[in-house]
C-alpha cells in the first residue's frame, strides 16, 4: 500500500486534457511544497516532469502542468499525444529525510 493515493488508471483522447490527482496527508503533500511527478515508459529511465508541485525542468513541454491544494496535488497533461501513454507517479518529501510515492497511474491515450 503506497503512502500517496493515485487512481490506478486514467484515459483521454488525442488532443484532450487529463488530470491525475495525488492525495496524501498533512505530513507529506499537505506539509511541503516538495511534490514531484514522474513519467515511466517500460524499459526506459524514469523522467522528471514537475518538481516543487508546479515547476517544469528544462525540456519538459508546457503541456505538463501541476497544482497543489491542501493534501492533494494534481498533474494535468494537455493536448494529449500518443507518446504520453505511460505510467505516472507522484512523490512527496515527508521531512526527516524521507520520500514517499503514489502507486502510479497508467495513462491510456484513446
Partner 1 sequence: EVQLVESGGGLVQPGGSLRLSCEASGFTFSDYWMHWVRQTPGGGLVWVSLISNDGTSITYPESVKGRFTISRDNAKDTLYLHMNSLRDEDTGVYYCARHLAYSFDYWGQGALVTVSS
What is the helix, strand, coil percentage profile of the chain, to 5?
Answer: 5, 50, 50
Q: What angle do CA 94, 96, 100 make, to 5 degrees?
A: 30
Q: Which is nearer to partner 1, 16 or 98 (CB)?
A: 98
CB 107 within 8 A of CB 14: no
Q: Which is nearer to partner 1, 34 or 67 (CB)?
A: 34
Q: Spell out, one character per residue from 30 to 69, where the chain touches partner 1: x when CB under 8 A holds, - when not.
A: --x-x-x-x----xxxxxx--xx--x-x------------
Q: Which of 62, 83, 97, 110 binds partner 1 (CB under 8 A)?
A: 97
Amino acid at each position: 500500500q503506497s503512502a500517496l493515493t493515485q487512481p490506478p488508471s486514467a484515459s483521454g483522447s488525442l488532443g484532450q486534457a487529463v488530470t491525475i490527482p495525488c492525495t496524501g496527508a498533512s505530513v507529506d503533500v499537505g506539509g511541503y511544497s516538495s511534490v514531484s511527478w514522474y513519467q515511466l515508459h517500460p524499459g526506459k529511465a524514469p523522467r522528471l516532469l514537475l518538481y516543487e508541485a508546479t515547476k517544469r525542468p528544462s525540456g519538459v513541454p508546457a503541456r505538463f502542468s501541476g497544482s497543489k491544494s491542501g493534501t492533494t496535488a494534481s498533474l494535468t497533461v494537455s493536448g494529449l499525444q500518443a507518446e504520453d501513454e505511460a505510467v505516472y507517479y507522484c512523490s512527496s518529501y515527508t521531512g526527516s529525510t524521507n520520500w514517499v510515492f503514489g502507486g502510479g497511474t497508467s495513462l491510456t491515450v484513446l
